[in-house]
């Protein structure tokens, strides 16, 4: 199946999603994989022609209820509003991820696909009548203001959100860049508090990277968007280039998927494809034949042999779980952290007309070994709790040979070595103090390399077994 940007033109295709929220939210990274219409639309029409006859008694009851509301409600209400509310109710009663989109909501679908929109930058869903934060987007206004995964948003600009749909709350948080919105947050163990946040244009880069220690790379994917696979490959190639410039091979990578709410199904496939050479990545199954998809590696691997640790937590959902599950099934990576969210369903956007569509759960996805993630999640190979670690100050009585007056030099380029050491210590300090799971992932990678045969660069510039005799 070919995926091209042109498939995102309005109403040209059905769209498949693997996001974690209850609805397609304007403030979130909730994107779709578009399918070509030539076969998709035809099969959809065929499916519609094969549906069972309408239940006449239930239809009569529905029209009776509609008529009574029109005639007796305290305020006059137009038929369009009533019918749209009825559709919303039908979809809301199915599962947390099916939803009705009309007008601006539908327009914003394509807008969020491009990754630029005005808002706060937070992924939300509905829980017990309230709006629950799935995760803030990295470096978004919400993230910088201190909003955390698990927070409840109970008011927006002093308006209570009880029983409000997530897409309605998201619309309230949207607005022109530079304007302020006040959200009231309820957090476990604290009294509710207000945060005034300035809206910004959320221009998202889904992948970032850095060196966390000499020879060890860190890759962070905050959401799965159209270009995530390409962005990941570019970051990996840049990391290799940087390390080749200093004659330092990449000895291990950490792929951080914590608090990643998901996104485009195809993007998750591309990410896995960067790390495996062959084999199935993910497949989907639904009631209709056209909802059954199967994705495999294309051998365009950019990092097929480097040791890999994947970090997940309970905020890792959907597309994140596809990646973690596939790499786990292939034995390609060690999965560390906490059990993931457990969102294993795929949504299809079905246009009703030029301004309205429904987002409907149409299939479940499965890992290569046939595991369903739905309501189960991915269990890490190594469970690691979120924690902070502090570095013990060096005691003045602790010293080594280099501290002794008149010690002999070892003949190495001291300046160069000291620069590399200083850079490594800065990075290590950051990891150790601020991110315990990441530090543990780094330790695992170092442990893997400690048991590998020592390797060195030969005269040709390639790696060869070191002669230890």
**Residue 171's domain is classified under what CATH number?**
2.30.42.10
Q: Which residue, chain included where needed, has tokens 């030969």?
A: 458
Residue 41 lies in a domain: no
Residue 21 pLDDT: 38
Tally of CB atoms within 10 A around 203: 9
User: Which residue segment(s) compose the domain that 186 sits in?
Assistant: 125-203
From the list 18, 20, 270, 343, the catalytic residue is 343
- Over residues 161-183, the mean pLDDT reads 84
Q: State yes or no: pLDDT of 252 exceeds 60.
A: yes
Question: CB of 27 within 8 A of CB of 53?
Answer: no
- Asked if residue 80 belongs to a domain, the reply is no
Mean per-residue pLDDT, 306-328: 96
Verify whether residue 320 is a known catalytic residue: no
Q: Of the residues 98, 268, 316, 318, which is catalytic? A: 318
| Average pLDDT of the chain, as a whole number | 79
Specify the pLDDT at position 320.
96
pLDDT in tens, 101-143: 887 676 666 555 545 567 888 878 777 777 888 778 777 899 8
Residue 155 in domain: yes
Contact between residue 309 and residue 333 where contact means Cβ atoms under 8 Å apart: yes
Residue 263 scores a pLDDT above 60: yes
Q: What does the buried/exposed string (b/e) look like for 253-292 if buried means 16 or more CB atoms within 10 Å of the residue's CB?
A: bbbbbbbbbbbbbbbbbbbbbbbbeeebbbbbebeeebbe
Assess if residue 301 is contained within a domain: no
**What pLDDT sits at residue 102?**
84
Backbone phi, psi, residue 404, to 5°: -75, 135
167 located within any domain: yes
Bridge partner residues of 463 (DSSP): 457
Domains identified in the chain, total number:
1
Residue 104 lies inside a defined structural domain of this protein = no
Whether 302 maps to a domain, the answer reads: no
Average pLDDT estimate for 198-213 = 85
180 part of the active site: no
pLDDT category, 411, cuts 50, 70, 90?
A: low
In this predicted structure, the answer to whether residue 203 has a pLDDT above a threshold of 50 is yes
Query: Among this protein's residues, is 343 annotated catalytic?
Result: yes
Residue 151 lies in a domain: yes
Candidate list 329, 338, 359, 435, residue with the active-site label = 329
């Amino acid at each position: 199946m070919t995926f091209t940007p042109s498939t995102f033109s309005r109403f040209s295709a059905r769209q498949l999603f693997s996001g974690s929220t209850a609805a397609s939210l304007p403030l979130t990274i909730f994107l779709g994989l578009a399918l070509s219409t030539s076969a998709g639309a035809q099969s959809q029409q065929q499916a519609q022609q094969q549906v069972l006859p309408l239940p006449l008694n239930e239809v009569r009851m529905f029209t009776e209820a509609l008529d009574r509301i029109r005639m007796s409600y305290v305020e006059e209400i137009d038929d369009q509003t009533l019918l749209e509310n009825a559709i919303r109710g039908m979809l809301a009663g199915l599962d947390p991820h099916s939803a009705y989109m009309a007008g601006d909501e539908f327009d914003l679908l394509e807008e969020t696909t491009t990754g630029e929109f005005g808002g706060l930058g937070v992924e939300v869903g509905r829980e017990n009548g309230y709006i629950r934060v799935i995760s803030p987007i990295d470096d978004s206004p919400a993230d910088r203001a201190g909003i955390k995964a698990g927070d409840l948003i109970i008011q927006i600009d002093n308006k209570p959100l009880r029983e409000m749909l997530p897409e309605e709350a998201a619309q309230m948080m949207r607005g022109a860049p530079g304007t302020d919105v006040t959200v009231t947050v309820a957090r476990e163990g604290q009294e509710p508090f207000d945060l005034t946040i300035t809206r910004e244009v959320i221009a998202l880069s889904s992948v970032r990277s850095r060196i966390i220690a000499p020879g060890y790379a860190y890759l962070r994917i905050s959401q799965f968007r159209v270009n995530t696979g390409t962005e990941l490959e570019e970051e990996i190639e840049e990391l290799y280039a940087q390390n080749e410039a200093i004659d330092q091979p990449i000895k291990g990578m950490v792929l951080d998927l914590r608090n990643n709410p998901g996104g485009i199904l195809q993007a998750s496939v591309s990410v896995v494809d960067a790390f495996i050479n062959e084999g199935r990545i993910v497949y989907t199954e639904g009631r209709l034949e056209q909802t059954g998809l199967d994705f495999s590696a294309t051998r365009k691997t950019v990092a097929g042999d480097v040791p890999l640790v994947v970090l997940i937590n309970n905020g890792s959902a959907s597309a994140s779980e596809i990646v973690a599950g596939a790499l786990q099934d292939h034995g390609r990576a060690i999965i560390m952290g906490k059990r993931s969210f457990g969102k294993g369903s795929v949504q299809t956007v079905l246009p009703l007309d030029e301004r309205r569509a429904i987002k409907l759960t149409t299939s479940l996805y499965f890992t290569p070994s046939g595991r369903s993630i739905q309501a189960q999640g991915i269990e890490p190979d190594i469970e690691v709790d979120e924690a902070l670690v502090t570095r013990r100050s060096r005691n003045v009585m602790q010293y080594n040979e280099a501290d002794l007056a008149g010690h002999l030099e070892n003949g190495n380029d001291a300046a160069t070595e000291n620069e590399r050491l200083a850079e490594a210590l800065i990075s290590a300090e950051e990891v150790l103090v601020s991110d315990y799971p990441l530090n543990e992932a780094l330790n695992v990678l170092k442990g893997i390399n400690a048991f590998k045969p020592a390797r060195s660069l030969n005269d040709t510039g390639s790696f060869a077994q070191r002669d230890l005799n």
